[in-house]
Amino acid sequence: MPNYIQDPNDSKKQIPGPKTDQHYDRFTTPTAFSGSHRQPSYVLVVSAVTNALGFYFGSATQFSSSAATEGNNPSSVLSGSSHYLPFDSLAAGQYMINPVAVSGSDADVAKVRFVYKGGLDGMGRP
């Protein structure tokens, strides 16, 4: 909820202040082998994925542990394809999945957006 401020037209009234960044949906474009992210509300694919793509559905802690076991430094990189659930092809659209990481070619990973719903409770706003 935004803070209330004094109404510029009537000093005896208050009006809602400006909305915070949390009131709006946000997205991030992950990069190939970029490490784990916070779980998104959903995944948006902006154009069809042509090559195989993989999503990691474990927790961020599991991701770091697997990366450390793989011997990567920093432990935010997990390159072994056996850790990712493969998706051979994806059409453009919205997918109600919540991965923490994505793996694939740079061109195909660039078509993926992790979307986070706005609102203080994470449920979004109209």
Q: Give how far the C-alpha of residue 123 lies from the chain's centroid of Cα atoms, to the nearest Å.
A: 14
- Tell me whether residue 34 is in a domain: yes
- Tell me whether residue 125 is in a domain: no
- Tell me whether residue 37 is in a domain: yes
8 A C-beta contact, residue 13 and residue 82:
no
d(CA 9, CA 28) in angstroms, rounded, equals 40
The tens digit of pLDDT for each residue in 37-80 reads 778 888 999 999 888 788 988 887 887 777 777 765 555 677 77
Instruction: Look at residue 110 and give its three-state secondary structure.
Output: coil
Torsion of CA 33, 34, 35, 36, to 10 degrees: -110
- Tell me whether residue 24 is in a domain: no
| Phi, psi values for residue 81, rounded to 5° | -65, -20
- Tell me whether residue 84 is in a domain: yes
- Tell me whether residue 40 is in a domain: yes
pLDDT at 1: 46
- Tell me whether residue 2 is in a domain: no
- Tell me whether residue 21 is in a domain: no
pTM of the model: 0.69
DSSP letter for 67, please.
H
